[in-house]
Amino acid sequence: MTQIQDLDTPALLIDLDIMERNLRRVADYAAAHNLRLRPHTKTHKSILIARRQLGLGAAGLTVAKTGEAEVMLGAEPRDLLVAFPVIGEPKLRRLSSLAAITRITVAIDSLYGAQQLSAAAVAAGVRFGILVETDVGLGRVGVAPSDALDLSREIQKLPGLEWRGITFYPGHIKDQNEAKVAELSQVIGSLLESFEAVGLKPEIVSGGSTPLLFHSHKVQGLNEIRPGTYVFNDLNTVAGGGCALEDCAASVLATVISHAEPGRMIVDGGSKTFSSDRLSSGGPGHGRVMEAPGAVFHKMNEEHGFIDLERAERTFQIGEKIRIIPNHVCVVVNLHEYVYGVRNGVVEEVWNVEARGKLQ
Protein backbone atom coordinates (compact mmCIF):
# COMPACT_ATOMS: atom_id res chain seq x y z
CA MET A 1 0.00 0.00 0.00
CA THR A 2 1.62 3.21 -1.18
CA GLN A 3 0.89 6.32 0.84
CA ILE A 4 0.65 9.62 -1.03
CA GLN A 5 3.66 10.87 0.93
CA ASP A 6 5.76 8.01 -0.46
CA LEU A 7 5.27 9.06 -4.09
CA ASP A 8 8.10 10.72 -5.92
CA THR A 9 7.40 14.25 -7.11
CA PRO A 10 6.07 16.07 -8.98
CA ALA A 11 3.10 13.72 -9.31
CA LEU A 12 -0.46 14.37 -10.40
CA LEU A 13 -3.00 13.07 -7.88
CA ILE A 14 -6.71 12.57 -8.40
CA ASP A 15 -8.92 12.23 -5.35
CA LEU A 16 -11.12 9.33 -6.40
CA ASP A 17 -13.98 10.16 -4.02
CA ILE A 18 -14.27 13.63 -5.51
CA MET A 19 -13.90 12.42 -9.09
CA GLU A 20 -16.59 9.79 -8.64
CA ARG A 21 -18.91 12.36 -7.08
CA ASN A 22 -18.25 14.74 -10.02
CA LEU A 23 -18.95 12.00 -12.56
CA ARG A 24 -22.18 10.93 -10.86
CA ARG A 25 -23.47 14.46 -10.37
CA VAL A 26 -23.25 15.26 -14.08
CA ALA A 27 -24.59 11.87 -15.17
CA ASP A 28 -27.58 12.45 -12.84
CA TYR A 29 -28.10 15.99 -14.13
CA ALA A 30 -28.04 14.81 -17.76
CA ALA A 31 -30.49 12.00 -17.01
CA ALA A 32 -32.83 14.30 -15.05
CA HIS A 33 -33.05 16.72 -17.98
CA ASN A 34 -33.01 14.12 -20.71
CA LEU A 35 -29.75 15.43 -22.18
CA ARG A 36 -27.30 13.23 -24.05
CA LEU A 37 -24.00 13.37 -22.19
CA ARG A 38 -20.96 13.20 -24.46
CA PRO A 39 -18.00 14.06 -22.21
CA HIS A 40 -15.00 15.78 -23.73
CA THR A 41 -12.03 13.55 -22.99
CA LYS A 42 -9.51 16.39 -23.37
CA THR A 43 -9.41 16.80 -19.61
CA HIS A 44 -8.50 13.26 -18.55
CA LYS A 45 -7.03 11.94 -21.85
CA SER A 46 -7.36 8.44 -20.43
CA ILE A 47 -9.19 5.36 -21.69
CA LEU A 48 -9.91 4.20 -18.15
CA ILE A 49 -11.83 7.35 -17.22
CA ALA A 50 -13.63 7.41 -20.57
CA ARG A 51 -14.87 3.89 -19.84
CA ARG A 52 -16.21 5.04 -16.50
CA GLN A 53 -18.05 7.91 -18.16
CA LEU A 54 -19.60 5.52 -20.67
CA GLY A 55 -20.45 3.13 -17.84
CA LEU A 56 -22.36 5.94 -16.14
CA GLY A 57 -24.54 6.42 -19.19
CA ALA A 58 -22.59 8.72 -21.51
CA ALA A 59 -23.95 8.36 -25.04
CA GLY A 60 -20.55 8.83 -26.62
CA LEU A 61 -17.29 10.72 -26.26
CA THR A 62 -15.83 13.97 -27.55
CA VAL A 63 -12.22 14.54 -28.62
CA ALA A 64 -10.34 17.49 -30.09
CA LYS A 65 -7.85 15.74 -32.31
CA THR A 66 -7.70 12.77 -34.67
CA GLY A 67 -4.94 11.29 -32.53
CA GLU A 68 -7.20 11.51 -29.49
CA ALA A 69 -9.96 9.78 -31.46
CA GLU A 70 -7.56 6.93 -32.22
CA VAL A 71 -6.74 6.56 -28.54
CA MET A 72 -10.35 6.83 -27.37
CA LEU A 73 -11.43 4.01 -29.64
CA GLY A 74 -9.97 1.95 -26.82
CA ALA A 75 -12.93 2.91 -24.65
CA GLU A 76 -15.28 1.50 -27.30
CA PRO A 77 -17.64 4.48 -27.62
CA ARG A 78 -20.68 3.94 -29.85
CA ASP A 79 -20.35 7.50 -31.13
CA LEU A 80 -17.25 9.67 -31.21
CA LEU A 81 -17.36 13.41 -31.89
CA VAL A 82 -14.26 15.19 -33.14
CA ALA A 83 -15.10 18.70 -31.98
CA PHE A 84 -12.54 20.37 -34.20
CA PRO A 85 -12.43 21.12 -37.94
CA VAL A 86 -10.47 18.19 -39.36
CA ILE A 87 -8.47 19.60 -42.27
CA GLY A 88 -5.82 17.94 -44.42
CA GLU A 89 -5.25 14.63 -46.19
CA PRO A 90 -3.34 12.65 -43.52
CA LYS A 91 -5.94 13.25 -40.80
CA LEU A 92 -8.83 12.53 -43.14
CA ARG A 93 -7.29 9.19 -44.07
CA ARG A 94 -6.82 8.27 -40.42
CA LEU A 95 -10.31 9.39 -39.52
CA SER A 96 -11.75 7.30 -42.36
CA SER A 97 -10.13 4.20 -40.86
CA LEU A 98 -11.80 4.98 -37.54
CA ALA A 99 -15.17 5.48 -39.24
CA ALA A 100 -14.97 1.87 -40.41
CA ILE A 101 -14.93 0.82 -36.75
CA THR A 102 -17.28 3.20 -34.94
CA ARG A 103 -19.57 6.11 -35.69
CA ILE A 104 -17.49 9.26 -36.21
CA THR A 105 -19.03 12.72 -36.21
CA VAL A 106 -17.04 15.85 -37.03
CA ALA A 107 -17.70 19.49 -36.21
CA ILE A 108 -17.19 21.58 -39.35
CA ASP A 109 -17.43 25.31 -40.04
CA SER A 110 -16.52 25.57 -43.73
CA LEU A 111 -17.77 24.14 -46.99
CA TYR A 112 -14.13 23.46 -47.84
CA GLY A 113 -13.80 21.26 -44.76
CA ALA A 114 -17.07 19.45 -45.53
CA GLN A 115 -16.07 18.80 -49.13
CA GLN A 116 -12.75 17.33 -48.03
CA LEU A 117 -14.49 15.08 -45.52
CA SER A 118 -16.98 14.01 -48.15
CA ALA A 119 -14.24 13.09 -50.61
CA ALA A 120 -12.38 11.12 -47.94
CA ALA A 121 -15.56 9.28 -46.90
CA VAL A 122 -16.38 8.34 -50.49
CA ALA A 123 -12.81 7.20 -51.17
CA ALA A 124 -12.83 4.98 -48.07
CA GLY A 125 -16.41 3.79 -48.41
CA VAL A 126 -17.42 5.16 -44.99
CA ARG A 127 -19.76 7.85 -43.69
CA PHE A 128 -19.10 10.76 -41.38
CA GLY A 129 -21.71 12.41 -39.23
CA ILE A 130 -21.49 16.20 -39.39
CA LEU A 131 -22.36 18.88 -36.87
CA VAL A 132 -22.20 22.44 -38.13
CA GLU A 133 -20.02 24.41 -35.74
CA THR A 134 -21.84 27.62 -34.90
CA ASP A 135 -20.24 30.63 -33.24
CA VAL A 136 -22.51 31.89 -30.47
CA GLY A 137 -20.17 34.63 -29.30
CA LEU A 138 -16.73 33.20 -28.48
CA GLY A 139 -15.29 34.26 -31.84
CA ARG A 140 -13.12 31.17 -32.27
CA VAL A 141 -14.36 28.68 -34.84
CA GLY A 142 -17.90 28.40 -36.17
CA VAL A 143 -20.10 30.08 -38.72
CA ALA A 144 -22.45 32.86 -37.68
CA PRO A 145 -25.86 31.48 -36.65
CA SER A 146 -27.32 33.17 -39.74
CA ASP A 147 -25.01 31.04 -41.93
CA ALA A 148 -25.56 27.71 -40.17
CA LEU A 149 -28.63 26.86 -42.21
CA ASP A 150 -26.94 27.47 -45.57
CA LEU A 151 -23.91 25.38 -44.64
CA SER A 152 -26.19 22.61 -43.33
CA ARG A 153 -28.06 22.45 -46.61
CA GLU A 154 -24.81 22.32 -48.59
CA ILE A 155 -23.60 19.50 -46.39
CA GLN A 156 -26.78 17.54 -46.99
CA LYS A 157 -25.95 17.48 -50.68
CA LEU A 158 -22.51 15.96 -50.16
CA PRO A 159 -22.06 12.19 -50.48
CA GLY A 160 -20.61 10.25 -47.58
CA LEU A 161 -21.81 12.80 -45.04
CA GLU A 162 -24.77 12.65 -42.73
CA TRP A 163 -25.84 16.04 -41.39
CA ARG A 164 -26.79 15.48 -37.76
CA GLY A 165 -27.26 18.98 -36.41
CA ILE A 166 -25.31 21.78 -34.85
CA THR A 167 -22.72 22.27 -32.17
CA PHE A 168 -21.59 25.36 -30.32
CA TYR A 169 -19.29 26.25 -27.46
CA PRO A 170 -20.46 29.08 -25.22
CA GLY A 171 -16.99 29.66 -23.77
CA HIS A 172 -17.56 33.42 -23.72
CA ILE A 173 -20.20 33.20 -20.98
CA LYS A 174 -18.49 33.48 -17.63
CA ASP A 175 -19.62 33.67 -14.06
CA GLN A 176 -22.97 31.87 -14.38
CA ASN A 177 -24.48 34.85 -16.17
CA GLU A 178 -28.21 34.03 -16.39
CA ALA A 179 -28.95 36.90 -18.77
CA LYS A 180 -26.35 35.61 -21.23
CA VAL A 181 -27.75 32.10 -20.93
CA ALA A 182 -31.20 33.47 -21.82
CA GLU A 183 -29.65 35.33 -24.77
CA LEU A 184 -27.94 32.15 -25.92
CA SER A 185 -31.23 30.29 -25.61
CA GLN A 186 -32.87 32.85 -27.89
CA VAL A 187 -30.11 32.61 -30.50
CA ILE A 188 -30.38 28.84 -30.60
CA GLY A 189 -34.18 28.97 -30.53
CA SER A 190 -34.29 31.29 -33.55
CA LEU A 191 -31.74 29.18 -35.38
CA LEU A 192 -33.81 26.03 -34.83
CA GLU A 193 -36.92 27.86 -36.03
CA SER A 194 -35.14 28.76 -39.25
CA PHE A 195 -34.25 25.10 -39.66
CA GLU A 196 -37.83 24.02 -38.97
CA ALA A 197 -39.14 26.52 -41.52
CA VAL A 198 -37.37 24.58 -44.25
CA GLY A 199 -38.18 21.18 -42.79
CA LEU A 200 -34.76 20.51 -41.26
CA LYS A 201 -34.80 18.74 -37.91
CA PRO A 202 -31.40 18.40 -36.26
CA GLU A 203 -30.94 15.15 -34.39
CA ILE A 204 -28.22 16.77 -32.24
CA VAL A 205 -28.04 20.25 -30.73
CA SER A 206 -24.80 20.04 -28.79
CA GLY A 207 -23.75 22.79 -26.49
CA GLY A 208 -22.76 22.28 -22.91
CA SER A 209 -19.41 23.31 -21.45
CA THR A 210 -18.28 22.80 -17.86
CA PRO A 211 -18.68 26.43 -16.71
CA LEU A 212 -22.34 26.58 -17.79
CA LEU A 213 -23.03 22.92 -17.24
CA PHE A 214 -25.98 23.13 -14.90
CA HIS A 215 -27.69 25.80 -17.01
CA SER A 216 -27.76 23.56 -20.08
CA HIS A 217 -31.43 22.62 -19.72
CA LYS A 218 -32.35 26.29 -19.96
CA VAL A 219 -31.15 26.55 -23.58
CA GLN A 220 -34.01 25.93 -26.06
CA GLY A 221 -33.59 22.81 -28.14
CA LEU A 222 -30.25 21.83 -26.61
CA ASN A 223 -30.17 18.05 -26.24
CA GLU A 224 -26.49 17.19 -25.81
CA ILE A 225 -23.79 18.39 -23.42
CA ARG A 226 -20.03 17.96 -23.84
CA PRO A 227 -18.41 18.98 -20.56
CA GLY A 228 -14.78 18.02 -20.06
CA THR A 229 -13.32 19.69 -17.00
CA TYR A 230 -16.14 18.55 -14.65
CA VAL A 231 -14.43 15.19 -14.12
CA PHE A 232 -11.61 16.80 -12.11
CA ASN A 233 -12.45 20.53 -11.92
CA ASP A 234 -9.83 23.19 -11.17
CA LEU A 235 -9.35 26.72 -9.85
CA ASN A 236 -10.75 28.15 -13.10
CA THR A 237 -13.99 26.21 -12.62
CA VAL A 238 -14.19 27.43 -9.05
CA ALA A 239 -13.50 31.04 -10.09
CA GLY A 240 -16.23 30.82 -12.73
CA GLY A 241 -18.75 29.51 -10.22
CA GLY A 242 -18.95 26.13 -11.96
CA CYS A 243 -18.02 24.17 -8.82
CA ALA A 244 -16.90 24.55 -5.23
CA LEU A 245 -13.32 24.22 -4.05
CA GLU A 246 -14.13 20.83 -2.51
CA ASP A 247 -15.10 19.57 -5.97
CA CYS A 248 -11.50 19.89 -7.21
CA ALA A 249 -10.20 16.33 -7.54
CA ALA A 250 -6.77 17.14 -8.98
CA SER A 251 -3.66 18.28 -7.17
CA VAL A 252 0.04 18.15 -7.87
CA LEU A 253 2.25 16.68 -5.18
CA ALA A 254 5.51 18.65 -5.09
CA THR A 255 8.60 18.70 -2.89
CA VAL A 256 10.16 21.72 -1.25
CA ILE A 257 13.70 21.77 -2.65
CA SER A 258 15.07 25.12 -1.53
CA HIS A 259 14.29 27.95 0.76
CA ALA A 260 17.49 29.83 0.35
CA GLU A 261 15.64 33.14 0.65
CA PRO A 262 13.66 33.91 3.79
CA GLY A 263 9.88 34.02 3.42
CA ARG A 264 9.98 32.03 0.22
CA MET A 265 10.38 28.47 -0.92
CA ILE A 266 11.03 26.70 -4.20
CA VAL A 267 9.21 23.50 -5.15
CA ASP A 268 10.20 20.99 -7.83
CA GLY A 269 7.43 21.86 -10.27
CA GLY A 270 7.14 24.80 -12.62
CA SER A 271 5.63 25.36 -16.05
CA LYS A 272 6.68 21.88 -17.23
CA THR A 273 4.47 20.45 -14.48
CA PHE A 274 1.64 23.00 -14.12
CA SER A 275 1.75 24.71 -17.57
CA SER A 276 2.02 28.47 -17.57
CA ASP A 277 -1.74 28.98 -17.93
CA ARG A 278 -2.84 31.85 -15.74
CA LEU A 279 -6.28 31.92 -14.13
CA SER A 280 -8.77 32.70 -16.88
CA SER A 281 -10.19 35.37 -14.58
CA GLY A 282 -6.83 37.14 -14.86
CA GLY A 283 -6.18 36.62 -11.15
CA PRO A 284 -2.66 36.01 -9.83
CA GLY A 285 -1.05 32.74 -8.87
CA HIS A 286 -0.34 29.35 -10.38
CA GLY A 287 -2.20 27.16 -7.94
CA ARG A 288 -3.49 26.81 -4.40
CA VAL A 289 -1.30 25.24 -1.75
CA MET A 290 -3.67 22.91 0.12
CA GLU A 291 -1.57 22.84 3.28
CA ALA A 292 -1.36 26.64 3.46
CA PRO A 293 -3.85 28.50 1.26
CA GLY A 294 -2.29 31.79 2.34
CA ALA A 295 0.93 30.90 0.51
CA VAL A 296 1.20 32.50 -2.93
CA PHE A 297 2.50 30.47 -5.86
CA HIS A 298 3.54 33.64 -7.62
CA LYS A 299 6.12 32.66 -10.22
CA MET A 300 7.37 29.72 -12.26
CA ASN A 301 10.28 28.69 -14.40
CA GLU A 302 10.20 25.38 -16.25
CA GLU A 303 11.29 23.28 -13.28
CA HIS A 304 10.94 25.69 -10.36
CA GLY A 305 7.84 26.91 -8.56
CA PHE A 306 8.32 30.08 -6.47
CA ILE A 307 6.08 30.21 -3.41
CA ASP A 308 5.82 33.28 -1.24
CA LEU A 309 5.22 32.31 2.40
CA GLU A 310 4.66 35.75 3.86
CA ARG A 311 0.98 35.04 4.54
CA ALA A 312 1.26 31.28 4.77
CA GLU A 313 -0.34 29.54 7.73
CA ARG A 314 2.79 27.51 8.42
CA THR A 315 6.43 26.98 7.48
CA PHE A 316 7.90 24.16 5.40
CA GLN A 317 11.18 22.27 5.54
CA ILE A 318 13.28 21.20 2.57
CA GLY A 319 12.15 17.71 1.63
CA GLU A 320 8.52 18.24 2.72
CA LYS A 321 5.81 17.43 0.21
CA ILE A 322 2.86 19.68 -0.45
CA ARG A 323 -0.21 19.48 -2.68
CA ILE A 324 -1.16 22.23 -5.11
CA ILE A 325 -4.53 22.54 -6.87
CA PRO A 326 -3.84 23.72 -10.44
CA ASN A 327 -5.42 26.64 -12.31
CA HIS A 328 -6.26 24.64 -15.43
CA VAL A 329 -6.28 20.89 -15.06
CA CYS A 330 -6.59 19.89 -18.74
CA VAL A 331 -3.18 21.29 -19.63
CA VAL A 332 -1.67 19.81 -16.47
CA VAL A 333 -2.86 16.31 -17.36
CA ASN A 334 -1.27 16.74 -20.80
CA LEU A 335 2.13 17.23 -19.13
CA HIS A 336 2.03 14.05 -17.02
CA GLU A 337 2.72 10.49 -18.10
CA TYR A 338 0.89 8.96 -15.15
CA VAL A 339 -1.91 9.90 -12.84
CA TYR A 340 -2.25 8.58 -9.31
CA GLY A 341 -5.79 7.87 -8.13
CA VAL A 342 -5.84 8.35 -4.35
CA ARG A 343 -8.35 7.78 -1.57
CA ASN A 344 -7.89 8.44 2.13
CA GLY A 345 -4.20 9.20 1.72
CA VAL A 346 -3.46 5.96 -0.13
CA VAL A 347 -2.69 5.36 -3.82
CA GLU A 348 -5.48 3.10 -5.06
CA GLU A 349 -4.68 3.06 -8.78
CA VAL A 350 -2.28 4.46 -11.33
CA TRP A 351 -3.31 5.21 -14.86
CA ASN A 352 -1.54 6.21 -18.00
CA VAL A 353 -2.45 9.40 -19.88
CA GLU A 354 -2.73 7.63 -23.24
CA ALA A 355 -3.84 10.67 -25.23
CA ARG A 356 -1.15 12.94 -23.81
CA GLY A 357 0.48 15.14 -26.42
CA LYS A 358 -1.60 13.91 -29.34
CA LEU A 359 -1.18 17.08 -31.34
CA GLN A 360 -2.28 15.81 -34.72
> Using the rule CB under 8 A, is 144 a contact of a copy of itself?
yes
Q: Is 17 in the site for a copy of itself (CB under 8 A)?
A: no
Stretch that binds a copy of itself, among 152-160, 172-180, 239-247, 252-260 (CB under 8 A): 252-260
**Least distance (Å) from a copy of itself to the CB of residue 360?**
5
198-to-142, 193, 322 alpha-carbon distances in Å: 21, 9, 60
Is 340 one of the binding residues for a copy of itself (CB under 8 A)? no
282 is an interface residue for a copy of itself by CB under 8 A: no
Compose the 56-95 pattern: x for residues touching a copy of itself by CB under 8 A, - for all others.
--------xx------------------xx-xx-xx----
- Choices 29-37, 98-106, 241-249, 300-308; region in contact with a copy of itself by CB under 8 A: 300-308
Pick the closer one to a copy of itself by CB: 27 or 121: 121
Cβ 20 to a copy of itself shortest distance, Å: 25
Partners of 264 in the beta sheet? 308
Count Cβ atoms within 10 A of the Cβ of residue 184 and give its class: 0-12 exposed, 13-18 middle, 19 or more buried: buried
| Nearest Cα residue to 212 out of 250, 249, 180, 246 | 180
Q: Kindly state whether residue 324 participates in binding a copy of itself, applying the rule CB under 8 A.
A: no
Residues making contact with a copy of itself (CB under 8 A): 8-11, 42, 64-65, 84-85, 87-88, 90-91, 109-110, 112-113, 116, 135, 139-144, 171, 255-258, 260-261, 264, 266, 268-269, 271-273, 275-278, 301-304, 306, 317-319, 330-331, 334-337, 356-357, 359-360
